[in-house]
Amino acid sequence: MKVKIKETFKYSKLSIIMCIITLLIGIWFYSSTAIGIPIKEKLIIFLASFIPFFIFLIITILSYHFKERYKKIFKIISIILSLLLVFYYFIALFVCKLLSATNPVTDSKYYNYYVTGERLKKAFPAKIPSNVKNIEFYYAPGILQGGTNYSLYYIDDSMTKEKFDKEYKNKAIWIGCKEEYTEKEGLLSRAFAYTPAYYENENDYIIYLIEGRCDDSGYCNHGDFLIAAFNKKTNEVVFRSEQW
C-alpha cells in the first residue's frame, strides 16, 4: 500500500499538491460566501469554489493510470492550469461575493457564524437572547459600490433604559435621537436600514453611536458606523453596522 502511494505521488506530484491547495482555497471560498444563502446560489458558489480541485483530481487519477504514455502531457497541463488559477480565482471570488451580496443572510440561526470579531462585539450581543421575540437578522457583504451591512432587531420586554445604559453608555462616542445628531451629516441616515424600525418612529430610539467615520466630501454618503439603539416605549432593540 505504501509503495502504491509513493508511486502515485512520484508520477503525480504537482497535481496532488495542486489538489490540496485548490481544496483548501475552495473550502475558504465556500465557507465565507455560501453559508445561509438560497440553495441555487449555494450550488453555483460550490461549483465555482471546487471546479479547480475536481480538475486536478481527475488529472491525478489519469496521470497515474496512464503514467508511462502521457506523463509529460499531464505534467504540462498541470503547469498551465496552475498558472491560470490566479485569473480563475479572481473571477470566481467576484462571482461568489456578488451572489453572497445579492442574496443576504436573514436566518437568525446563522447569527453567530457571521457576527464575529472584536469590532462587532462592541455592540452586537455574543448571542441572541433566548427570551426575546420578533427576531430579524440581516447580513450582506460589501461589493463594488455596496457596503457591508449587519443588523439585528428584536423586542425584549425585560430590557430597560437603565440596563441599556449600563451596557453601552461607556462605549458610546455619542448618545441621542437620530434627529439630534449633527456632527457628521448623513452618517446615521441609514441607521435603521434592514430593520422594521426603518422610517418607523426612528426618533423614538435612543442611539448609542459606538463608532462613526466618513469621508471628507461634506456629506457622509459612504460612512462606517456601529450602533446599538433602544426604544423604551416599545422595548425594541436594534444593532447595526455599516462599512463602506
**Is the whole-model pTM more than 0.75?**
yes
Q: For 142-169, how does the pLDDT look when each residue is reduced to its tens digit (9 = 90+)?
A: 776 668 899 999 999 999 999 999 999 9
Domain boundaries, given as residue ranges, for the chain: 2-101, 108-243
Max avg pLDDT among 77-86, 122-131, 210-219: 122-131
* Chain-centroid distance, C-alpha 67: 43
